[in-house]
Structure 1
Amino acid sequence: MRVLHIVTGLASGGAERQLLLTVRNLPAHQHCEVLTLTNPGAVAGALRADGVPVHDLAMRGNRDVGALPRLVRLIRAGRYDLVHTHLYRAGLYGRLAARLAGVRAVVATEHSLHPGVIEGRPVTPGVKGLYLAAERLGRTTVAVSRQVEGTLHAWGVPPARVELIPNGIDAARYAWPAGERAAIRRRVRDGLGLSQGSWVIGAVGRLVPGKRFDVLLDALRELEGPRLVLVGAGPERAALERRAERLGVRARVLFTGERDDVPELLAAVDVLAAPSTEETFGLGVLEGLAAGLPVRHSACPALDELPPAAAPGARRIPSDPAAYASALRELYDLRAAAVRSPVPAPAVARYDVARAAAELGALYDRLVPRPASAPTGAAPGA
């Protein structure tokens, strides 16, 4: 089976990293290629390193309709059995192009949908209308959490057209043996210019308003001693740097930019802080738990669906500076006794990427049945 994944961009965001993990773990008979409408960033490089063909459509913006014929031609030339789109713009152009190219099996994953917000932007009547019109061009929309599933139903997408397949994480990538973790911690801290004895708060995500990293900067002003490492790129970086300067904490904040070594970076910090209130799954929270870190977060639908005992290292707190200052100060005061959990929380096993990829692969097989004589092996790979 030939599968084309179409995504809006391939910077190192949550949806993009999830696509990378999915392609790596789909059954071997599902040969994948990836097309990005724009911005072939760090994830594009990782896919190519894995041997996955990556196409760049080089769209100039949301209204670059001249890209549609190019996309149709590429899909026809690739003779794909199934097209799978990710994120809003890719969903609009990709589903239409797939249908025009004659592909009947069209799937979309909804990574970031709230009742009034999609991918951090307000949902206007026009945005919602376009979304629903494009949705009808596909066969199935995959919801990454029950929260997303509920929003799709509330918008009028029939339940029969929605498939719940939670995101997954590569837990083994974050669980270092104790000795190896200590060596990685020293190496990464040296590379970042952090002293080995400093206590470091980590935060990972796109630098956009919805992630609310300004809350951490405000909280840092109330704390003496801790450092903050912000991992990610985005349009808010300059504003966050100015805010840190204004608050007098700029010297204690490290902006790393986009990185593809998040597991190593998490080995070098002491706590993960996630003040976003607009999460549809909470991938970063689960990655922090997989790394054995204490996690303080403000939204994680993936954990909301599980009993509290499934994530003993995580605590949900309000997304305001006072709450984060208090929670982080408590951990900082206990730092001498703080020990990473050597065993990932049960929630981590629940959301293992192998399970998610197997469920998605089964969906592909239902939409594009293989001939009866086809081999049934399903070794991991692209």
Structure 2
Amino acid sequence: MTVPDERLFMTLRRPDRTGAPRMALEFARALRADGLDLTLVHGPLPRTGPSILPDVAGVGVRTVLEPRLERPWDPRLVRALAARVRRDGGRCVIGVNQSDRAPALLAAARAGVPGVLMVQNQHRFHGPRPLAAAKRRSYQAVVARHTTLAVCTSTVVRDEMTAFGVPAERTVVLPNGISVPAPVALTGAERARLRGQMGAGEGDLLLLNVGRLDPQKGQDLLLAALDGVPAPVHVALVGDAVATRRSADHEAVLHRQVRRLGLERRVSFPGWRDDVPRLLAAADGYVHTARWEGPALPLSVLEAMAAGCPTVFTDCSGRPPVFEEGRDGLLARSEDPTSIRERIAELAAMPPADRAAMGAAGAELVRAHYRVEDLGRTFSRLVRGVLDAG
């Protein structure tokens, strides 16, 4: 039976199924397997797309709606979080999204317990310049003073946290990982059907890009790179805009860019799909052109590699450790359409056997170094260490 001094809280402003919530789910699974009781305090459900909450509840985590997480600057949010932690005997608060990390740390400090951060992404502070600068100063002041441990997805992210004033000894690098799925076998007819749904012609090289439509993910850079690729390459942008004006505006920009570049027959927008593993099995490759990320190998890239897809992705979070360029995948320069174009052309020019060999090498890399079960156990040990240190 779980004892009171093992109760933890986790905050998650946006309980959708993007990268950070999915890693929060896997770390929650590991904490529960380690016998820790966990409550997820979350913001409102996503307006579009599925929520991670049913999965979280499925691993035995209690979920609690806190509408004020939609307005993380609301001073009543910290008081409410701290009161809940004290009332339920919580021993630690774990903040996930950038926007809910400061309230999580302040609530932990008010409740007299440690504050742990899952720093999944590089930091961006949006809004007019004075507002963005004020957000940065406020965030920096809180994390520098109140972070007990920052679990960072890459050295790039850890360097940001130490630049904010978090002592290096309070940071650790733990990459993201995935639960490696069993191989997906498609019949010829199903493969042709799925490729048709993605808009690919019979002779096209089908490349997938999976993720929310957002400036961070750089789909506009991918379209700019695709313009001028000589091979018959078709790109399917699988995903939707999330419920922010920035994301919705970006989706509109992408559609205008496709029309302006005359790419209507080479680019498709299938929207959100819940059969991505089958789409990966039907594709010839995967391309990821983000401007910034947290891990050097983002979740979508890991999933593509695990599925045996040869991948092109940007070095926006540095070069992945234990990654061999040209064997495990192809690395392009971040925010450089010319570099992305060259890598796509290189992939397209490979004989099918060489692309298959690259896909197999990437899959082996993921199996050897990025199994989320192993990384989850490490995260749970880190949290146990925080609890033991008091």
Q: TM-score, normalised by structure 2?
A: 0.80
Task: Tell whether 2:43 aligns with 1:37.
Answer: yes
Q: CA 1:76/1:322 → structure 2, altered by over 3 Å: closer, same or farther?
A: same
1:75 equivalent to 2:85? Answer yes
| 1:162 CA displacement | 1.4
- What letter is aligned with 1:239? V
Taking the aligned partners of 2:274 and 2:88, their CA distance within structure 1 comes to: 29
Pairwise CA distance, 1:181: 8.2
Return the alpha-carbon distance in structure 1 between the equivalents of residues 311 and 227 of structure 2: 20
Q: What does 1:271-350 correspond to in 2, within 5 Å?
A: 271-281=285-295, 282-283=297-298, 284-299=300-315, 301=317, 303-308=319-324, 312-318=327-333, 319-334=335-350, 336-337=352-353, 338-339=355-356, 341-342=359-360, 344-350=363-369
Q: Is the 8 A contact 1:181 1:267 kept in 2?
A: no
Deviation at 1:29, TM superposition (A): 0.2
Are 1:248 and 2:262 matched, yes or no?
Answer: yes
Give me the whole-angstrom Cα distance separating, in 1, the residues matched to 2:89 and 2:57: 20
Other-structure match for 1:11: 16
Asked whether the 8 Å contact 1:289–1:295 carries over to 2, the reply is yes
1-structure distance, mates of 2:268, 2:171? 41
Give aligned-pair identity as a percent: 26
Matching residue of 1:366:
385
Q: Would the aligned equivalents of 1:109 and 1:141 in 2 still touch at CA under 8 Å?
A: yes
Match of 2:282 among 265, 268, 273: 268
- Quickly say closer, same or farther: Cα 1:155–1:137, change in 2 above 3 A: closer
1:149 aligns to 2:158 (yes or no): yes
Maintained 8 Å contact 2:72/2:103: no
| Correspondence list, 1:95-114, <5 A | 95-100=105-110, 102-113=111-122
Give the structure 2 partner of residue 130 of structure 1: 138
Deviation at 1:263, TM superposition (A): 2.9
Structure showing greater relative contact order (alpha-carbon pairs closer than 8 Å, 6 or more residues apart): 1
The number of aligned residues is 363
Displacement after TM superposition at 1:202 (Å) = 0.9
After superposition, where does 1:74-93 map in structure 2 within 5 Å?
A: 74-93=84-103
> What is the CA distance between 1:151 and its match in structure 2?
2.2
**Equivalents in 1 of 2:72, 2:280: separation in Å?**
35
User: Letter of the aligned partner of 2:226 in structure 1?
Assistant: L
Separation (CA, whole Å) in 2 of partners of 1:14 and 1:327: 25
8 A contact 2:222–2:340 mirrored in 1? yes
Rounded to whole Å, the distance in 2 between the matches of 1:83 and 1:91 is 10
Structure 1: unaligned runs, 5 residues or longer: 371-382
Task: From the two aligned structures, give the one with the greater helix fraction.
Answer: 2
